Amino acid sequence: MFKDLNPILHSQLRLAVISILISVKEAEFTYLREKTDATAGNLSVQINKLKEAGYIDVSKSFKDNYPQTICRIPPQGFRALED
């Protein structure tokens, strides 16, 4: 029998973000927004929650003078998902 999901993943948006990040190595914030159809504000809040819970890593940089946020699941994030 499958274990219940961690309460942090009880949000549809957070679970959607994690599902996308499992499929790819890393993704930009804009890509996650496009795929989840979420608003930038809401997505930003949920990404922060996932980051605080240790599920994802977030790195910020600049690309062509625009801020770029890249999200990925670190090894410990995968371990947390397996638990």
Partner 1 sequence: MEQENEFSGQESLALITKMINKARRDYLDTGLSALLWGSVITFCSLVTFANHYLDWPALEYVWWLTVAAIIPQIVIVIREGKDRKYRAYEDDLIGGIWISFGIAIFLLAYIVSVYHVAEPAPLFLVLYGIPTFATGYARRFRPMLIGGVACWVLAIVSHYTPYPYTMLSLTVAAQLAWFIPGLIIRKCYLKAKAQHVQRS
Residues that bind partner 1 (CB under 8 A): 2, 4-5, 9-13, 15-16, 19-20, 22-28, 30-31, 34-39, 42, 63-64
Antiparallel, parallel or unpaired: β 57-63 and 66-72: antiparallel
Q: What is the CA radius of gyration of the chain?
A: 13
CB of 54 to partner 1, least distance (A): 19
CB of 45 to partner 1, least distance (A): 10
User: Residue 50 burial (CB < 10 Å; 0-12/13-18/19+)?
Assistant: buried
CB of 73 to partner 1, least distance (A): 11
